[in-house]
Amino acid sequence: MVNAALPILLIPGLNCSARLYGPQIPALWRLGPVLIADHTRADTMQGIGASMLAAAPPQFRLVGLSMGGYLAFEILRQAPERVAKLALLDTSARPDRPEQTERRRDFIRLAEAGRFMEMNEVLWPILVHETRQGNRALRVIVDAMAQETGPEAFIRQQQALIGRPDSRPNLRSIRCPTLVVVGDSDQLTPPELSHEMAEAIPGARLETVATCGHLSTLERPEVLSKLLVDFLGG
C-alpha cells in the first residue's frame, strides 16, 4: 500500500517550468507535498537525474511529461526503490532518432545565435491540438515557460536529450503502479509510443485524452487533474 502522504515530484518537459503543472497543483496539494524538480542544471540525463534525486525526499510519487518522462526513466535506473507510483504523460521510452537529433542541434544553434524565442514560432503548431492554435492565453504560458528556462538551460536540456539512452529494455522491470497518458493528437510523442510503454510495463494503465496535443496538462487541465488525483491518491 502506497503511503498516501508521500510527496509528489513533478518533472516538467523541455523548455518548461512549474507552470506546466499549474492547473494540477491545487488538486494534487490535497494529496501531500508537491515538489517541482529542477531539470536545468546539467547536460546529461545521468547528471540531471542524480541532481533531482539528491534534492528529492527518500520516497515519492513521480510524474513526468515529455522530457520529464525521459527523466523519470533515468530516476528509475538510478533509484527504483524510491518511486512509489509513476505517471508518464505524453512521453516515450525510445532514444532520439537521427532526424530528431539534427533538429535539436539546429535549435541549439538558434539559441547560441541569440534567437532563442524564435523556436516557439516553429514548435507551437506541433505542441498543441489544432483547435488551440489561436489560444492566446495558452501561448502566453508556453512563451513564459521558455523565458523562465532561458537559452543556457535549454541548450543543456537539448544536449541531455540527444544523449539519452533507450529505456525500452527497462520497461518490464518497472514494479511500481504506473499510469500512461497521451493526447490523441500528440504529434511529438504520438499515441502509439504510449501504447508501447503501457504494454511493456507490468500492470500499467493507459489513458488517451480526446482533442489533445502534446501539452496535455495545459490543454485539458480538468481531465489531467482528475486522472492524476484518482491515480496518485488511489
Q: Given this model, what pLDDT does residue 127 score?
A: 98
CA atoms within 13 A on the CB side of 47: 11
Gyration radius from the chain CA atoms: 16
Label residue 3 by pLDDT band (50, 70, 90): low
Domain containing residue 106: 1-234
Note whether 157 and 66 are within 8 A (CB): no
**Widest Cα–Cα separation across the chain:** 51
Q: Per residue in 14-41, pLDDT tens?
A: 999 999 999 999 999 999 999 999 999 9
Average pLDDT over residues 79-94: 98
Note whether 128 and 138 are within 8 A (CB): yes
Q: Given this model, what pLDDT does residue 2 score?
A: 53
Note whether 88 and 178 are within 8 A (CB): yes
Q: Per residue in 154-203, pLDDT tens?
A: 999 999 999 999 999 999 999 999 999 999 999 999 999 999 999 999 99
Q: What is the dihedral of CA 199, 225, 47, 163, to 10 degrees?
A: 50
- What CATH number did the domain enclosing 107 receive? 3.40.50.1820
Q: How far is CA 89 from the centre of its chain?
A: 6
Kindly write down the DSSP assignment for every residue of 128-193, as one continuous string.
S-GGGTT-HHHHHHHHHHHHHHHHHHHHHHHHHHHTPPP-GGGGGG--S-EEEEEETT-SSS-HHH
Q: Per residue in 101-152, pLDDT tens?
A: 999 999 999 999 999 999 999 999 999 999 999 999 999 999 999 999 999 9
Q: Per residue in 170-180, pLDDT tens?
A: 999 999 999 99
Nearest to 179 by CA among 65, 33, 47: 65
**pTM for the full predicted model:** 0.97
Q: What is the dihedral of CA 20, 26, 29, 33, to 10 degrees?
A: 50
Nearest to 160 by CA among 57, 53, 68: 68
Q: Given this model, what pLDDT does residue 9 score?
A: 99
What is the number of structural domains in the chain?
Answer: 1
In this predicted structure, the answer to whether residue 1 has a pLDDT above a threshold of 80 is no
